[in-house]
Amino acid sequence: MNKILSEKTLKLKTKIFIFSLISLFIGLTHSLPKNIVLLGLKIEENQHLIGWFLFWITVTISINFIIYSLIDLSKYFKNSIIKILSKNLQSETIGLTL
């Protein structure tokens, strides 16, 4: 499967996995950090907003992954798809006559 997916798609797959694990951990333990020291944020009042923010990040990355996967799959199976779709074409249907 790694030959089918591009490098960008594989990176998105890793990001989905990380954000899903973070979301799962927060959902199961019901614990959000009250302070984010690196950014200097205090989130004591609006903890539910952080949960929704992580959810929408995960959804956005998932949608991007699905789109990039479909593009990579269509590139990989392009010749097979063309053969299947053009199997029943005759010269008259595409405007060529002898």
Query: Tens of pLDDT along 8-57?
Result: 988 989 989 988 888 888 878 877 766 666 566 666 666 677 778 888 88
Q: Which is higher by pLDDT, 39 or 66?
A: 66
**What's 40's DSSP letter?**
T
* Confidence (pLDDT) at 53: 81
Place 76 in a pLDDT band, splitting at 50, 70 and 90.
very high
Contact 51, 59 (CB under 8 A): no
Q: Stretch 57-70: mean pLDDT, rounded?
A: 91
Of 58, 48, 63, 47, which Cα lies nearest the Cα of 23? 58
Contact 57, 21 (CB under 8 A): no
* Confidence (pLDDT) at 64: 92
